[in-house]
């Protein structure tokens, strides 16, 4: 199924103020879809916090049950796990996992009643193969993958499709974003995703190219959509030989700790 199949369809995209969400919305509109974008800030149709279930339900009550839901809102958190407080964990879980659950609760029952729809949850390549020093982030993204894969066969009984996006390194503002300033500071300045990727020699792909590839895979109703190829390769390698990816992760942990974490702590 090509991206032209989105013409005339309605979609909600959360976390669309920038990055992947904004690129998905642009691409959907270019394909003729009617899109409602939400975020806590930015140039969106509705300012909304996905942590607020009542707000999610109010939006759907106002505009109706969409054909497509892109539950995309998320935050990153990088640094030594032993320095994270309960507040840090709660923040990541509330946005990355509970935000997806809230969007699901607002939309899925209506899709079941109607007998059609497609839910696309944004996880991460870190939700398929967990890298070190992003433990809270990886934990929530694994949970989103599990949610989507568990729901997919059940939802199919009602004519509803479910997919999960697992992006690798994509050029978005989240790469440079530090944790919310309202969170308690940690002894070591948190590691940004860009610093992490730069140390590993990974170059992010263009966000619009990602959105184009992702929507093509959504149109084909793929269960797990790992883009770009680097994310897909690592996922395949982990399935083939978990011991190999474990050794790779251990080597990465040593390198990040020695050349990045210890420097930021000094």
Q: Quote the strand ranges of 127-265, DSSP E.
A: 160-167, 224-227
The Cβ of residue 61 has, within 10 Å, a number of other Cβ atoms equal to: 11
Going by C-alpha positions, the residue among 200, 197, 188 that lies closest to residue 82 is: 188
| Cβ neighbours of residue 214 closer than 8 Å, sequence gap 6 or more | 24, 165, 167, 225, 227
The number of CA neighbours under 13 Å toward the Cβ of 133 is: 26
Catalytic residue among 6, 137, 196, 236: 137
Measured N-to-C along each axis, helices 135-156 and 86-93 cross at an angle, to the nearest 10 degrees, of: 30
Beta bridge partners of 71: 121
Whole-angstrom distance, CA of residue 140 vs CA of residue 193? 16
Is 236 one of the catalytic residues?
Answer: no
Name the residues annotated as catalytic: 137
């Amino acid at each position: 199924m090509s991206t032209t199949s989105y013409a005339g369809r309605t979609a909600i995209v959360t976390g669309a103020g920038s990055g992947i969400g904004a690129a998905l919305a642009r691409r959907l509109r270019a394909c003729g879809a009617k899109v409602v974008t939400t975020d806590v800030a930015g140039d969106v149709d509705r300012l909304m916090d996905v942590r607020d279930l009542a707000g999610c339900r109010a939006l759907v009550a106002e505009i109706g049950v969409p054909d497509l839901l892109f539950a995309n809102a998320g935050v990153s958190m990088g640094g030594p796990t032993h320095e994270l407080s309960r507040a840090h964990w709660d923040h990541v879980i509330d946005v990355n996992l509970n935000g997806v659950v809230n969007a699901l609760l607002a939309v899925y029952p209506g899709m079941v009643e109607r007998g059609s729809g497609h839910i696309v949850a944004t996880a991460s390549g870190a939700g398929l193969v967990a890298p070190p020093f992003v433990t809270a982030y990886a934990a929530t993204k694994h949970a989103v993958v599990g949610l989507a894969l568990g729901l997919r066969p059940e939802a199919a009984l009602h004519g509803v499709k479910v997919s999960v996006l697992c992006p690798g390194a994509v050029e978005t503002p989240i790469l440079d974003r530090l944790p919310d300033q309202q969170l308690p500071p940690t002894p070591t300045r948190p590691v940004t995703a860009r610093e992490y990727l730069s140390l590993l020699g990974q170059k992010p792909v263009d966000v619009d190219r990602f959105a184009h590839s992702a929507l093509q895979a959504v149109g084909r109703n793929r269960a797990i959509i790992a883009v770009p190829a680097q994310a897909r390769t690592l996922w395949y390698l982990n399935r083939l030989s978990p011991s190999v990816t474990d050794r790779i992760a251990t080597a990465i942990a040593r390198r990040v700790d020695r050349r990045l974490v210890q420097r930021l702590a000094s």
